[in-house]
A and B are shown apart, each in its own frame.
Chain A
Amino acid sequence: MLDELDKRIIAAMQDEFPLVAEPYKEIAARIGISEKELLERLSSYRQSGKIRKMGAVLKHREVGFSANALCAWVVPPERLEEVGQIMMRHPAITHCYSRIPQPEWPYNFYIMLHGHSREECRSMATELAQATGVCQYTMLFSTKEWKKTSMSYFVRKA
């Protein structure tokens, strides 16, 4: 379970990461703990999987990946695991989930596909269809971004 200090640390780690020589010292000072304690807690979160990555998220359009498609597939339930294993290895796929379908929407497997163009996304999807043998799918290209943020966990609103 998370204690109060964990929640304060997690909330603080979602602020801007200081671009200074000793960033953790600065964050620790904001929280009111020692740098050593912060580093120890962060290491333990990473070990336990609470932190899935330490690093940077790029703006994909700005670094050249201007097209993205949410691609939804109808995968026979008994093949989900096998198809998932093939899809997740593809480097252009950033998100890969099986999901519970709905009566009016039969798609049960979802990937986010990034490419330099819509054509590239389409050809990658064709390749994936061939590699998996799953041919019922739809490509949902985004036409407008209404919101894209990082989640703010345990942040107390002023």
Chain B
Amino acid sequence: MKLGQGYVMLTSFDKALLNILQTGLPIASRPFAELAERLGVGEDAVIERLEYLKEHGFIRRIGAFFDSTSLGYVGTLAAAKVEEDYVEEVAKAINAYEGVTHNYERDGSFNLWFTLLVPTIEIQQGILEEIRNLKGVSSLINLPADKKYKVSVQFNL
């Protein structure tokens, strides 16, 4: 039931709702009533539609998104050069770390790219060392951020 497959389409109301909701969930007793008022519909209509959109896989998560650095966490982006035959095994071993939030196979000589978010730099170094030593990993680079210019996952529908 995906958009690309043509079964479920976003209506213009859905798009308006999602465009607002991507950044504008009110911190208030009746947040959906406030959204409904802006959209000129009833509170129930907003809640029902959000349930529908969630159920059909358009929404990954609703709620609060925290700034990892402000909470004291240390993040980085790392990439591994993994032999073809070991990619699945290594990817699964990397996934097993709780602080790994994204892990993608990509084109190029470094073929596995992951983000790691942990409470301290010591934990980060320890985990990266373990990954570097996995069978099939020939090289691992750690690319800690120097400066964050933008994090805003927002799509204009």
A interface residues, Cβ below 8 angstroms from B: 2, 10, 13-14, 16-17, 19-25, 35, 39, 42-43, 45-46, 48-66, 70, 80, 84-85, 87-88, 91, 93-102, 104-105, 108, 110, 114, 138, 140-154
Contact = CB atoms under 8 A, between A and B. Distances in A.
Given A58-B155, A84-B147, A154-B71, 16 more contacts: A17-B63, A22-B29, A45-B64, A48-B70, A49-B70, A55-B23, A55-B24, A56-B62, A59-B58, A64-B157, A87-B150, A96-B151, A100-B144, A104-B139, A142-B106, A149-B101
A39 B28 contact: yes
Contacts of B95: 146-147
A56 B31 contact: no
A50 B67 contact: yes
Nearest to B69: A49
24 contacts: A14-B63, A19-B51, A50-B67, A52-B66, A53-B23, A53-B152, A56-B25, A59-B58, A59-B60, A64-B157, A97-B77, A97-B147, A99-B144, A105-B110, A110-B143, A114-B155, A142-B106, A143-B105, A145-B104, A146-B94, A150-B65, A151-B68, A151-B101, A151-B117
Contacts of B124: none
A10 B71 CA distance: 10
B39 interface: no
Interface in B107-131: 107-108, 110, 112-114, 117
A68 B117 CA distance: 22
Nearest to B24: A55
Contacts of B2: 61-62
Given A59-B57, A96-B150, A142-B104, A19 B47 contact: yes
A51 B110 CA distance: 33
Tell me what chain B mostly uses at the interface: helix, strand, loop, or mixed.
Answer: mixed
A24 B31 contact: yes
A56 B21 contact: yes
A146 B67 CA distance: 23
A59 B153 CA distance: 10
Contacts of B148: 96-97
B4 to A, nearest CB: 6
A116 to B, nearest CB: 10
Contact of A98 (B22, B31, B103, B145): B145
B137 interface: no
Nearest to A23: B31
Interface string B12-50: 000000100111111111111100000000010001001
B154 interface: yes
